């Protein structure tokens, strides 16, 4: 990791570290120094991350530790089968952002294994005629589960192609019968510091004021692309990916795709999402993937695609407007200045 020989065109990893660089200077410097020294040698999770990107795709490292997941019945959706290459399952399971379990990419895999997803309770409330509460079985059985191959683009300029399983958020919102005053949807992650080590420690959890909150405009929320995911690669979600249920909004930066949701509230006001609250000049409400609007600290023109092969061999590719979904979603933003409303 530290011996990469860079091409001039490559972005420096130090330019794109993680979302938490907003943190006060002192703790950033401490974190970086710690990371640089210990990645390959000391912490098992970081060794795991190192192995993950080593030459041997089939290596046995960590595979025994992967959280138990069960097979899901699902429909193949022919509209979404054309994406390739698909990111290997192991990387989707072991390279994550889920700050509730720590800010390191390997932390969620290491620390979320015991996370309890059953029983679970997801409530849809607010400006609706019929508030609904779904339990764990409802999430897996009440809706027709389909497979959606989607691009995933993190604001940190890395990307994956992921075979999600889930159902459209629209079908759930419809069940709740939104009132006409409802204009926005607010999402909330579980708050449980006993299970989520980062929620009890600002050092571990990146200084976020938990619970993690996200929001969409109602028209974005009921767009057919917007998915509530309950699985990937044919199985239920692992905790590190947001089990038992998480949002997937493929034309927006990954931070919009909030994990382990307990509450969905229809409102008349735009919710302030977690990253917008922390650094409003860096993370907006819309967060539509846009190669023409740079992050203040790095370019968004291209991305590091995480596919087969080791960390050093990963390819850069051009970032697409709306992450390649402009045909489906550009109309939602007609007349909106995308530079101003980033
Ligand atoms: N609750 C919660 N949801 C979250 C995050 C988080 O830290 N907490 N990270 C986000 C970010 S920055 C990204 S890129 C995606 C990563 O999803 P994945 O780890 O399943 O690939 O989850 C998003 N959802
Ligand atoms: Mo992200």
- Which of 52-61, 208-217, 235-244 comes out lowest in average pLDDT? 52-61
CA of 156 to the centre of ligand 2 (A): 6
Identify the H or E element spanning 262.
Answer: strand 261-267
Residue appearing with tokens 């307990």 = 262
pLDDT of res. 104 = 97
pLDDT digits (tens, 9 = 90+) for 198-212: 999 999 999 999 999
151: β partners: 161
CB 258 within 8 A of CB 214: yes
pLDDT of res. 59 = 39
Choosing from 254, 263, 303 the residue with most ligand 1 atoms within 8 A of its CB, the one to mutate for a pocket test is 254
Distance between CA atoms of 238 and 113, rounded to whole angstroms? 8
CB 106 within 8 A of CB 49: yes
- Which of 47-51, 72-76, 107-111, 276-280 comes out lowest in average pLDDT? 47-51
Choosing from 97, 155, 186 the residue with most ligand 1 atoms within 8 A of its CB, the one to mutate for a pocket test is 97
Q: What tokens were used for 104?
A: 């390191």
Residue nearest to atom 14 of ligand 1 (CA): 254
Query: Percent of the chain having pLDDT more than 90?
Result: 75
List residues, by chain if needed, whose CB lies under 5 Å from ion ligand 2: 97, 154, 254-255
pTM for the model: 0.86
pLDDT of res. 33 = 37
| Domains within the chain, CATH numbers bracketed | 14-333 (3.90.420.10)
Is the C-beta atom of 103 inside 6 A of ligand 1?
Answer: no
Residue appearing with tokens 């968004």 = 300
pLDDT digits (tens, 9 = 90+) for 136-152: 999 999 999 999 999 99
CB 60 within 8 A of CB 118: no
Buried b or exposed e, range 268-282, using 16+ CB within 10 angstroms: eeebebbbbebeeeb
pLDDT of res. 17 = 52
Asked if pLDDT for residue 303 goes beyond 90, the answer is yes
296 in helix, strand or coil?
coil
User: Residue 105: nearest ligand to its CA?
Assistant: 1
Residues counted in the chain: 342
Is the C-beta atom of 212 inside 6 A of ligand 1?
Answer: yes
CA of 63 to the centre of ligand 1 (A): 22
Give start and end residues of each alpha helix (H) in the chain: 25-38, 44-52, 89-94, 107-111, 136-141, 169-175, 218-221, 274-278, 326-329
CA of 75 to the centre of ligand 2 (A): 28
The Cβ of residue 182 has, within 10 Å, a number of other Cβ atoms equal to: 19
Is the C-beta atom of 223 inside 6 A of ligand 1?
Answer: no
Nearest atom within ligand 1 for CA of residue 154: 14
pLDDT of res. 81 = 63
pLDDT digits (tens, 9 = 90+) for 76-103: 875 556 788 999 999 999 999 999 999 9
């Amino acid at each position: 990791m530290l011996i990469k020989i860079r091409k001039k065109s490559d972005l420096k990893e130090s330019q794109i570290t993680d979302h938490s660089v907003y943190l006060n200077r002192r703790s950033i410097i401490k974190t970086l120094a710690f990371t640089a020294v210990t990645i390959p040698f000391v912490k098992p999770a970081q060794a795991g991350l190192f192995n993950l990107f080593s030459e041997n795709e089939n290596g046995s490292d960590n595979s025994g530790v992967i959280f138990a997941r069960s097979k899901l019945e699902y429909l193949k959706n022919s509209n979404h089968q054309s994406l390739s290459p698909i990111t290997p399952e192991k990387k989707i399971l072991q390279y994550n952002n889920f700050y509730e379990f720590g800010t390191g990419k390997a932390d969620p895999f290491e620390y979320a294994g015991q996370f309890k997803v059953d029983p679970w309770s997801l409530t849809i409330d607010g400006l609706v005629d019929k508030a609904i509460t779904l339990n764990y079985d409802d999430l897996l059985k009440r809706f027709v589960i389909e497979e959606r191959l989607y691009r995933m683009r993190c604001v940190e300029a890395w990307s994956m192609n992921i075979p999600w399983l889930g159902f459209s958020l629209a079908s759930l919102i419809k069940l709740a019968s939104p009132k006409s005053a409802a204009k926005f949807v607010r999402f909330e992650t579980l708050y449980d510091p006993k299970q989520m080590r980062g929620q009890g420690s600002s050092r571990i959890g990146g200084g976020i004021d938990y619970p993690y909150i996200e929001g969409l405009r109602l028209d974005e929320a009921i767009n057919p692309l917007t998915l509530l995911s309950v699985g990937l690669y044919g199985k239920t979600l692992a905790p590190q990916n947001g089990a038992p249920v998480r949002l997937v909004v493929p034309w927006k930066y990954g931070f919009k795709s909030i994990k382990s949701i307990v509450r969905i509230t229809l409102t008349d006001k735009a919710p302030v999402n977690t990253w917008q609250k922390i650094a409003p000049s860096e993370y907006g409400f819309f967060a539509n993937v846009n190669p023409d609007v740079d992050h203040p600290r790095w370019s968004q023109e291209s991305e590091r695609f995480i596919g087969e092969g080791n960390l050093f061999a990963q390819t850069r590719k051009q970032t697409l407007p709306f992450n390649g979904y402009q045909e489906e979603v550009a109309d939602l933003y007609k007349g909106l200045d995308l530079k101003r409303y980033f």
